[in-house]
Structure 1
Amino acid sequence: MKDDAVHLPQKASPVLVKQANLFSDLPAKLIEDFQQEFQLNEWHKDDYINSDILMERFFVVIDGQLEIKQSNPDTGREATLDMLYAGDCFDLIVLFDDQPHDVIISPLTTVKLLSVKLATMRHWLWTYPEFNKQFMPYLAKKMREKEQQASSLVLNDVATRLSRIILQHINKIKFYNGTKEDEHHHHLVNGLNDETLARMTGSVRQVINKQLQLWKKEGTIDKKRNQLMIKDLEALEQEANFTQTLPNVPFAKNS
C-alpha cells in the first residue's frame, strides 16, 4: 500500500466545474463564482486516502472510478458501500451530520476530482435555490440506491443481486469496441474482479466465481481477468428480475 496521496491540488476551471452534472445547468455567473472555491485533485489507483479528509472537503468525481468500503478488523471481511463514477459526489453523510465517517477510499483507476470546503458546500446549499434544486434529486437518487441495496441483500439470492449489480455498472460506464450491429448484446464491464463483485454483492469470492462460470457456460457472459463481456443482456436482465429497463442500456435488439 502506498503512503498518503500527496498529489498537489490545482485550481479548477469553469469548464471543469460545468462538466460535473451537479453544476452543469447552473447559470454561467454562478459557475464562475463556484469555480473560485474549487480545487482539482488527482488520485491514482492504490493510493491511500485518509478518510479524515472527508471532514474537511466535499468531492465530486469528474473522471475515473473509485470504491467506498468498510472493513471488519476482526475478520478482515470488507463490504462495498458505494461505487463512484464521473458525476458522483461524496461524502453526503459527513456533509449533513458533520461527524467522522470511518470508510476506506479506494481508487480503482486514476481519478480526477473537484473538491471544495465542507462549510462552503453547505453555504451553497442553503443560499442558492438553483443549486439546491439540482442537488436534491441527486440526493434522492442515492437514497433510493441505498434502499434498493439493503432490500436486495435480504430479499434476493446471490445470482439476482450479482446480475443487478452488473447491469447497474453497465448503465454507469460502458465500453464497446465491436461492430455497430452487435452493440445491443456486447458490453464490457471493466475493472471489477471477483473479490470486488463479492464485496458489492454481500457474498464471497468463491460463490461469485461459481456464478460467473455458470453464466459463461450458458453463453450469457465471457470472462477474462478483470473484464466481463456481456453477450446476452436479455438473459442477464431476466436473471435480475427487473420490472423496468435501466436507462441508457439498449436491451432491445436492432431490427
Structure 2
Amino acid sequence: MTEKKILGILSIVFGGVGLTFSWMPFINNMAFILGIVGAVLGVIAIVTNRKSKKTLALIGTVISVLSLVFVLITQNYYSKKLDDTFGQNSSSYSEKTKAEKAANKTSENSNDPSKNKWTFKNNVFSAGIMTYKLTKSEVLDSAQDGKKVLVIYADVTNNTEKEQDPSNIYMVMHAFQKTNTANKDLVTGMVKYDGTGNNPVQQQQDALHDKLLGQKTVTVAMAFTLENDNPVTVKFDDANFKTIGEKQYNVK
C-alpha cells in the first residue's frame, strides 16, 4: 500500500525546524514544543501507515526526537554555564566577605591589647594589657631586719580603657639567686619604712598595688628579698608561663 505522506511530511517539517533552533538558548524552548508536535505527528503517521511504508513517518519521528534530545542537551549545557558563572561570583563574593570579616577581625584584634604578643626586649616587658619599661635598680634595706632587697623600678602603662592591677606582674616575673645548694626563687619584699611615709620608694611600691586607670602610666617599684650578694637573674614569662626573656642584676 502507498504511504500516506502528509503526517510524515508535517512531522519532518516540525522536527526539522525544532532541530534547527535546538542549539539556540531561550529560542530552543519553542524548538522543544515543535519537536514534541513533530514526534506526535510522526507516531500518528507510523500508526496510520502500519500496513504500508512508513519512511517519511519514521524520518519525521527520528528528526523530532533528535530535536528534543538536542534541546535538552543545550539547555543543560547553558544551565551549567550559568550555574558555574554565578557560582564563581557567589564564591568570589563569599571569599571577599570572609576576607573583609577577617580584616575587620584583625583590625579589632589590633585594637585589643589582650591579643598582643608578649615580649621582653630592650628592658621593656610587653604583657598585653600592660607594658613595663624597666628603668633602674638598687639594693636597699628590707623591712625585714637584717635583710636586703633588690628594688627594680619600672614605668607601667595600662594599655586598656579599664582599671588594671600592675602587681599582677609578680605572677610572670620571677627572681632567682644561687645559694650554696640551690637556685633560689626569691620572695617579694618590702623596703624599710622611714617612719614618715614620705619615702618615694614606698610610694612607688604602693603604686604597684593600686588600680591603674586606663591609658595611664605610673612609676612603680618591685622588690625581691635577697639571700646573699650573688647576681640575681630575673625571668619574664608569657601568658602561658613560658620564659620569654631574662635580665641579670649585680647586687654587690
Q: Could you say which TM-score interval applies, normalised by the shorter chain?
A: under 0.3
TM-score (norm 1): 0.22
Q: Which fold has the larger relative contact order, with Cα–Cα distance below 8 Å and residues 6 or more apart in sequence?
A: 1
